[in-house]
């Protein structure tokens, strides 16, 4: 989880239209109409991601468009951070889909609201990508370890950040290539991701 810098909700808050915090009320993709409308000529979420992340495909596309990011990069971060569990909570206290630390929310925020959580997390991801000069591997390292790691030799990164960059860059490369599957994602699931995804699957009440 990145040590997110405080971000301003500003005009983006209107774009995100903060809404329901209980996605488990329906196992259907909450924005399927948007997904269908944007398949022609626009970036869509790759099929390599797990079913739990695909659940959020429509919102991922909206969030990505709002901050000018590739939806597959956004989906990659969600995959590794929470596997689509909007109520995910880490041992360090990071919360929600994009695992944002509590001190980056205002007293009026609901940290588990998907739109609020995305607003905070994706602004940091955007700034990390800018600092990395559009290098997705470095941007992912910055998201996990703090933007300051981007200018340091990779050998100086914490082991967690090295693993994060390894998993994320491989998953993102597979998603960006148009592949139907991702060997790197399967590695991540086997290493530490399967339990996270089982929790998300149950939380979302997905019907296969």
Pair 75, 48: CB distance under 8 Å: no
Contacts of residues 195-203 at CB distance under 8 Å and 24 or more positions apart, as own/partner, are: 196/82, 196/83, 196/85, 196/88, 197/50, 197/52, 197/83, 197/84, 199/83, 199/85, 199/88, 200/52, 200/82, 200/83, 200/84, 200/85, 200/88, 201/51, 201/52, 203/24, 203/85, 203/86, 203/87
Q: What is the pLDDT of residue 71?
A: 98
Residue 17 lies in a domain: no
Residue 13 maps to a domain: no
Instruction: Give the pLDDT score at 180.
Output: 92
Q: Per-residue confidence of the chain (208 residues) as pLDDT tens digits? A: 554 433 333 333 333 333 334 444 444 444 444 443 344 446 799 999 999 999 999 999 999 999 999 999 999 999 999 999 999 999 989 999 999 888 878 889 899 999 999 999 999 999 999 999 999 999 999 999 999 999 999 999 999 999 999 999 999 999 999 999 999 999 999 998 999 999 999 999 987 6
Domain annotation covers residue 25: no
Per-residue model confidence as pLDDT tens digits over 27-55: 444 444 444 334 444 679 999 999 999 99
Question: Would the pTM of this model clear 0.85, i.e. be above it?
Answer: no
Count helices and strands in the chain by DSSP H and E runs: 10, 0
Q: Catalytic residue positions?
A: 81
The angle subtended at Cα 109 by Cα 103 and Cα 111, nearest 5°, is 65
Structure tokens at 98: 């994009």
Residue 37, in any domain of the structure: no
Looking at residue 2, its pLDDT comes to 53
Query: Which pair of structure tokens corresponds to residue 25?
Result: 């009320």
Q: Report the number of distinct structural domains present in the chain.
A: 1
CA distance 85 to 82: 5
Question: Which structural domain range is residue 109 located in?
Answer: 44-204
Residue 189 lies in a domain: yes
Inter-CA distances, 169 with 23, 103, 175, Å: 28, 28, 10
Within a domain: 199: yes
Domain with residue 176: its CATH number is: 1.10.530.10
Residue 21 lies in a domain: no
- Reduced to 3 states (helix: H, G, I; strand: E, B; else coil), residue 145 is helix
How far lies 140's CA from each of 104, 127, 132, in Å?
19, 11, 9
What was the pLDDT predicted at 169? 98
Domain contains 16: no
């Amino acid at each position: 989880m990145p040590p997110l810098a405080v971000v301003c909700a500003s005009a983006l808050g209107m774009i995100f239209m903060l809404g329901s915090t209980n996605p488990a009320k329906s196992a259907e993709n909450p924005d399927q109409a948007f997904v269908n409308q944007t398949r022609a000529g626009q970036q869509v979420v790759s099929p390599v991601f797990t079913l739990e992340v695909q659940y959020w495909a429509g919102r991922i596309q909206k969030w990505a468009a709002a901050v000018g990011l590739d939806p597959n990069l956004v989906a990659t971060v969600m995959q590794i951070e929470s596997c689509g569990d909007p109520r995910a909570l880490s041992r360090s206290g990071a919360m929600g889909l994009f695992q944002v630390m509590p001190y980056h929310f205002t007293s009026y925020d609901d940290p588990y609201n998907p739109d609020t959580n995305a607003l905070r997390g994706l602004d940091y991801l955007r700034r990390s990508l800018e600092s990395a000069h559009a290098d997705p591997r470095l941007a992912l390292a910055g998201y996990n370890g703090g933007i300051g790691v981007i200018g340091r030799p990779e050998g100086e990164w914490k082991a967690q950040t090295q693993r994060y960059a390894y998993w994320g860059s491989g998953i993102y490369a597979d998603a960006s290539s148009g592949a139907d599957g991702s060997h790197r994602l399967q590695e991540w699931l086997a290493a530490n991701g399967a339990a996270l995804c089982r929790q998300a699957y149950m939380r979302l009440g997905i019907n296969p």
